[in-house]
Chains A and B, each alone.
Chain A
Amino acid sequence: GAGVSQSPSNKVTEKGKDVELRCDPISGHTALYWYRQRLGQGLEFLIYFQGNSAPDKSGLPSDRFSAERTGESVSTLTIQRTQQEDSAVYLCASSRTGGDQPQHFGDGTRLSIL
């Protein structure tokens, strides 16, 4: 079956521009997560959506970061006024439910801020 799909796979933009990253989770998965991975590092949690509940935004690093999810489908992560420190791979994962369920990842969007 189809896995988690992310687009674009690569994004290069100038400092100060806004970017929007997209995630299509595995069909039927109610939980969706966004992570950031800096070069050579582990993953940092950003935000978590579970069904129609209010998202857990505790990992968002600043108010320039926001995310939305429509129902139990597509999610978008938006970074406003990008800065060079935002350069990283942004990974999306989904799981069947929240809690102790394996999270399955997409291949990420590699974001480069010039």
Chain B
Amino acid sequence: GESVGLHLPTLSVQEGDNSIINCAYSNSASDYFIWYKQESGKGPQFIIDIRSNMDKRQGQRVTVLLNKTVKHLSLQIAATQPGDSAVYFCAENNGHSGGGADGLTFGKGTHLIIQP
């Protein structure tokens, strides 16, 4: 079936370095993508989104890149801080996945660990 997945379950980076979290999606009809950050015991927190008519979008310290040719999504976090430690999920909305008309299909997540 169609799904959104992450390449690595855990990513460890040094404080101050840049982090890159990757995501592969399989449904070429997907037209909207979101990155979420989830801390322990909390709900997912919206970070940034991107529509399929774009290939790059920047926020505060974060950049999302979308490569529709290879169906790949990435989240770049600049100058990683201890507060960035969390699980990061990518999610897609194509209106026809198992997520229902507008429900999101989530990957399994990448745990970002910040080393001091």
Contact = CB atoms under 8 A, between A and B. Distances in A.
Contacts of A68: none
Interface residues of A, number: 29
A114 interface: no
Given A103-B34, A104-B46, A45 B89 contact: no
Given A43-B89, A105-B43, A99 B99 contact: no
Contacts of A35: 103-104, 106
Given A42-B109, A59-B98, A102-B34, A107 B103 contact: no
Contacts of A33: 102-104
16 contacts: A33-B102, A35-B104, A41-B109, A42-B106, A42-B109, A50-B101, A50-B102, A98-B101, A98-B102, A99-B102, A100-B31, A100-B32, A102-B46, A103-B34, A105-B44, A107-B41
Which 3 interchain pairs have the tightest Cβ spacing? Answer: A45-B103, A105-B43, A42-B106
